[in-house]
Amino acid sequence: MNIQPAPPPASFAAPALRHFPSFASAIEGTRPANPVYVLHPRRFRAAVSRFLDSFPGTTMYAVKANPVPHVLDQLHEAGIRHFDTASLSEIELIRTRYSDATCHFMAPVRIPGEARAAWQVHGLTDFVVDCDPELDKLLGETEGGKDLRIFVRVATPLGGAMLELSSKFGTTPANAGRLLKRIASAGAKPALTFHVGSQCLSPFTYAQAVELARRAVDVAGVPVHALDVGGGFPGPYLGNDVPPFHWYFETVREAIGGFPLQDGAEVYCEPGRALAAEGVSLIARVILRRDDQIFLNDGIYGSFDELSVPAWTADYPRRVYTFGPNGRVRERRGELKPFKVFGPTCDTLDVLPRPLTLPKTLQQDDYIVFENMGAYSIALRTGFNGFYPNDWVVLDSE
């Protein structure tokens, strides 16, 4: 069956955003009571160029890291055309917005019927499995799967990443090899993928993962039509020793140099954090100071959920701004001290897990700018207790 992609509906036009040259001017110009997200077009362009210029293959953006249209537009304008879409909703979002985008359904487990819709309605042909039941379901929903390229996900319990992902997804090299044989027998194109975990601080972990994938090929004895090295490329947070990105790219390039791929096979990566993190900052307001405690207009139920992950040790770069007696905004500096930080909701769980070191002279109505917040923080926000940050501006100079 020759499936043709459905033409996407008319693209949604995001409302025009106000532009400012600096954080100080944005605070002066808006005096926001609610949190404000700040887009940095230059940072998005730099992050995308880093991958498009140096990764030895095709870069797809992991939409789950930040699906906000403002962010997607920045990435698309910077050159991203391939998207790791892990649900039918994400596929519809991308297909609706970008007529030239290619979506890849890279989730190993799907809600029944979603593979059929992705294939029939949207023309997707890339899917992932890590077990027989999911392969059976996929083949059943795609008339045997002969149009598909099916990636088998290999588990990579290797360390090196702050948040592991192989306890939920992936299989052994031996079982992956068996699944590759099944895929080839069905008439589909077998491929391999893995994910080393989120915020991976060890480039060598990718070489180890490629070796596990190679063992699967040895077991399978069938041509492999693509290799996806997944995500895990880190964001530059405080408290993390992040290696240069060229170390990651060089490690991957060397590791795949001897990988047994079919002639013309493609190599992919699917960064989310590494493409989105640096492109968004948050302007939060201090709504109360009480001794060494402060309350912000954003918290754990809003943009700071990731800080509550047990294994998370990174922190967001930050600076503090205040209105001077002349009504102009200036950066507050001076001696630092730790503050316990609460969010605005009525829940006592709405507290950051670690104190923040901030200027000792911090006052109510000061503003704290948190940088590198483009990944996951926004994707995980909730509307709990009536608080839902969703105001945006653009900073053109930083």
- Residue 64 contacts by C-beta under 8 Å, 6 or more apart in sequence? 84, 86, 90, 272, 379
In whole angstroms, give the CA distance from residue 353 to residue 310.
9
| Tokens encoding 247 | 């170390």
Q: What is the pLDDT of residue 2?
A: 43
For every residue of 120-163, DSSP letters joined together read HTT---EEEESSHHHHHHHHHHTTTSTT-EEEEEBP-----EEE
| Tokens encoding 198 | 């989120």
- Of 230, 227, 383, nearest to 301 (Cα)? 383
Average pLDDT, the chain: 95
Confidence of residue 41 (pLDDT cuts 50, 70, 90): very high
Q: What is the pLDDT of residue 5?
A: 46
Q: How many CB atoms lie within 10 A of CB 237?
A: 22
Distance, CA of 85 to chain centre: 11
Q: Kindly state the average pLDDT of the residues 99-120.
A: 97
Give pTM, 2 decimals.
Answer: 0.94
Q: How many residues are present in the chain?
A: 398
- The DSSP secondary-structure symbol of 241 reads -
Q: Is the dihedral of CA 196, 169, 276, 287 positive or negative?
A: negative
In the predicted model, is pLDDT for residue 131 greater than 90?
yes
Question: Do 389 and 303 touch, CB atoms closer than 8 A?
Answer: yes
In the predicted model, is pLDDT for residue 8 greater than 60?
no
Q: What is the pLDDT of residue 15?
A: 63
Q: Kindly state the average pLDDT of the residues 56-72.
A: 98
Q: Using DSSP, state whether 113 is helix, strand or coil.
A: coil
In the predicted model, is pLDDT for residue 140 greater than 80?
yes
In the predicted model, is pLDDT for residue 375 greater than 50?
yes
List of domains in the chain: 42-276 (3.20.20.10), 278-395 (2.40.37.10)
Burial 53-79 (b: 16+ CB within 10 A, else e): eebebbbbbbbbbbbbbbbbbbbbebe
In whole angstroms, give the CA distance from residue 52 to residue 74.
15
Amino acid identity, residue 149? Answer: R
In whole angstroms, give the CA distance from residue 282 to residue 368.
8
Mind listing the pLDDT tens digit for each residue in 200-240?
A: 999 999 999 999 999 999 999 999 999 999 999 999 999 89
Mind listing the pLDDT tens digit for each residue in 309-357?
A: 888 888 999 999 999 999 899 999 999 999 999 999 999 999 999 999 9
pLDDT cut 70: percent of the chain above it: 96
In the predicted model, is pLDDT for residue 113 greater than 70?
yes
Phi, psi of 126 (to 5 degrees): -105, 125
Q: Using DSSP, state whether 26 is helix, strand or coil.
A: helix
Q: What is the pLDDT of residue 143?
A: 97
In the predicted model, is pLDDT for residue 11 greater than 90?
no
Q: What is the pLDDT of residue 240?
A: 92
Phi, psi of 60 (to 5 degrees): -115, 140
- Of 45, 114, 56, 43, nearest to 85 (Cα)? 114
Mind listing the pLDDT tens digit for each residue in 243-258?
A: 999 999 999 999 999 8
In whole angstroms, give the CA distance from residue 125 to residue 115.
9
Question: Do 96 and 11 touch, CB atoms closer than 8 A?
Answer: yes
Mind listing the pLDDT tens digit for each residue in 161-181?
A: 999 999 999 999 999 999 999
Q: What is the pLDDT of residue 316?
A: 96
Q: What is the pLDDT of residue 3?
A: 47
Amino acid identity, residue 226? Answer: A
pLDDT cut 90: percent of the chain above it: 91
Q: What is the pLDDT of residue 311?
A: 83
Q: Classify residue 21 as exposed, middle or buried by CB count within 10 Å of its CB (0-12, 13-18, 19+).
A: exposed
In the predicted model, is pLDDT for residue 18 greater than 50?
yes
